[in-house]
Amino acid sequence: ARLRASLKRSPMSSQFAFGGLAGMVATTCIQPIDIVKTRLQVFAEIAASQAGAGAPKQGPVTVIRTIFSTTGFTGFYKGLTAALTRQATYATARFGLFRLFSDAILERTQQTELKFWQRAVCGLGAGGIGSFISNPADISLIRMQADGLAPKHLRRNYSNIFSALRHMREKEGVLSWWRGCTPTVYRAMAINVGQLAVYDQVKSYFITVFGDNTKAFLASAAVAGFTASFLGLPFDFVKTTLQNMRPDKNGKMPYKGFADCVVKVMRNDIFAFYRAFPVFYVRIAPHSVIHLTIFDMMMKVYKRKNEGEIKVLL
């Protein structure tokens, strides 16, 4: 988003709070898409690990039908408590930190607007820190969404995020809360470059083409969403795979870590990383539009009630 410096700025707390609230609203709207994406990735990982052995083939339509037929409409909101908790931590941190880092650069350089590489650096830092903080909620979400694919006797049956975290602590240790953290951080950094830096950059161009209107906004969101999806999906796939993996009958995990997972998947089916791209894009693009729009509306209302210009994400 375009950053505009001003003499009077909103308290830092408003950026953190509104970023988190807007993220929670956006997540509630796209949660059904997210669970379809997660299950497609689980199927892709199974297919990659069982290449040539009659691996299951699943598409978005099949996954949607299966969820609806087995659990009804509520099945699309499996893991919602974890998803909202993740946004309450991740979105709150990344929006607030993005503003914090941006302010620091503007004040240090005396610029009126950030350059693209500066926006990218702010997005990388804010996304990385925010994702590390929110990883416990993220792994809970992945496991709750993928649980329905496991045989009944192997299901974890977490009732909510607190149940998930308690069971993980008791059976796998507290450090299991940060399993898959490396690809999670990389994913967040990649997506934030697309959502915050690329969006801002291309919006400046589309405004010159369409004017400062809805067309420019939607075109910018589409480009930013595509960029974020393309950069972030491979990391999202590895993250989902590591966070959802189970030990074999000998108690050994199928993957030792980030690099081992990447190598093994590439060896069997390199296209597995992008198997869920259409669904991932459909998830990222509207989430970006909803999140940024609601955040902007909140900041504008706050601005009206508190005189003076505020630097906001537009």
Task: Tell me how crowded residue 217 is: count the other CB atoms within 10 A of its CB.
Answer: 20
* pLDDT tens, residue by residue, 119-165: 899 989 999 999 999 999 999 998 998 888 788 888 898 989 999 99
Q: What is the mean pLDDT of the chain?
A: 84
Flag whether 311 is in a domain. Answer: no
What is the model's pLDDT at position 163?
A: 94
Flag whether 312 is in a domain. Answer: no
CATH number of the domain encompassing residue 175: 1.50.40.10
Q: What is the mean pLDDT of residues 295-309?
A: 74
Task: Read off φ and ψ for residue 213, nearest 5 degrees.
Answer: -145, -170
* pLDDT tens, residue by residue, 27-70: 999 999 989 988 888 877 777 666 555 555 678 898 899 999 98
What is the model's pLDDT at position 148?
A: 82
Flag whether 192 is in a domain. Answer: yes
- H-type alpha helices, the chain: 12-49, 60-71, 80-109, 116-146, 161-172, 181-192, 199-210, 214-244, 258-269, 277-305
Which domain, by its residues, includes 54?
12-305
What is the model's pLDDT at position 10?
A: 57
Q: What is the mean pLDDT of residues 174-194?
A: 89
| Distance, CA of 29 to CA of 22 (rounded, Å) | 11
Q: What is the mean pLDDT of residues 91-118?
A: 90
Flag whether 35 is in a domain. Answer: yes
What is the model's pLDDT at position 211?
A: 85
Flag whether 184 is in a domain. Answer: yes
Flag whether 5 is in a domain. Answer: no
What is the model's pLDDT at position 195?
A: 81
Count of the separate structural domains present in the chain: 1
| Distance, CA of 174 to CA of 177 (rounded, Å) | 6
Flag whether 58 is in a domain. Answer: yes
Flag whether 48 is in a domain. Answer: yes
* Structure confidence at residue 267 as a pLDDT band (50, 70, 90): confident
Query: Can you give the length of the chain in residues?
Result: 314
Q: Quick check: 314 pLDDT over 60?
A: no
Lowest mean pLDDT among 220-234, 249-263, 271-285, 298-312: 298-312
Q: Are 159 and 126 in contact (CB under 8 A)?
A: no
